[in-house]
Amino acid sequence: MLQQAINQSGVPASGLIFYLADEPTRRHLPLADLENAALTLRTLYPETPIMVIEAYSPNGPAPIARNIQYWGFNAYTVADPALEPRYPAYLNRAAAMLSPDQALVMVMDAHHTPHHTRAGLAPDNMANVARAYYAYAKSRGDIAALVGYTWAGGIDGDWEIGARNLPAPVLDAYREIGHAITGK
C-alpha cells in the first residue's frame, strides 16, 4: 500500500521524507519500537530519509532513535526562538545528541490557538513569528529543514486556525520564506 502511494505520487522515493512519528515520547511509544519501525522503513526505502518530531519537554530532549535522519521538536507560542533562552539551549542539547548522519529540523509555529492569544500573539503576528523562525534557522547553520505546524486547522480542536487559514500577510510571509529557501 505504501509503495502504491509512492508510485502514484509521481515523486521518487529519494525525493520524499517519511514522517514516522509525532511526539512519540509524549504518546508513550517505546524507543525500541520507534527504532524498529525506522529500520523497517530504512530497509524497504534506503534512499528515503526518516523524520521524528518530539514535543518540547522541560526535562530536555528525549533519546533520539538511531535509525532516523531528521529530528526536531515543537514548542508553541514562541514569538522569536532566538530571544527565548530555553529554545536555543534545547536545540543545542538535541544537536549534541545527534550522530553524524542525523540532522536537526526546526518546527515553526504556523498555526493560531487560544494559547497564542493568551501569549499576546494575534493571528496577524504569525507573519513575524515565521520570519523570526526562518532567521534563526538560517543563522544557526545546522538546521536541515524548517517545517510548519500545521497546514490544516482543527487537528487539535475546532478552535485552531491552521497556516492556510491565517491572514494574507502571514501567507505572504510563508511564500517569501519558501522562495528564499528554494530560490523558486
132 found inside a domain? yes
SS (H, E, C) the chain: CHHHHHHHHCCCHHHCCEEEEECCCCCCCCHHHHHHHHHHHHHHCCCCCEEEEEECCCCCCCCCCCCCCEEEEECCCCCCHHHCCHHHHHHHHHHHHCCCCCEEEEEEECCECHHHHHCCCCHHHHHHHHHHHHHHHHHHCCEEEEEEECCCCCCCCCCCECHHHCCHHHHHHHHHHHHHHHCC
Domain residues for 166?
Answer: 15-151+161-182
8 found inside a domain? no
Give pLDDT tens digits for 85-97: 999 999 999 999 9
1 found inside a domain? no
- Nearest C-alpha neighbor of 130 from the set 163, 99, 100, 103: 163
Per the structure, how many domains does the chain have?
A: 1
5 found inside a domain? no
Q: What predicted TM-score, i.e. pTM, was given to this entire model?
A: 0.92
Q: What is the mean pLDDT of the chain?
A: 95
10 found inside a domain? no
6 found inside a domain? no
156 found inside a domain? no
3 found inside a domain? no
Give pLDDT tens digits for 9-57: 999 989 999 999 999 999 999 999 999 999 999 999 999 999 999 999 9
The pLDDT of residue 113 is above 90:
yes
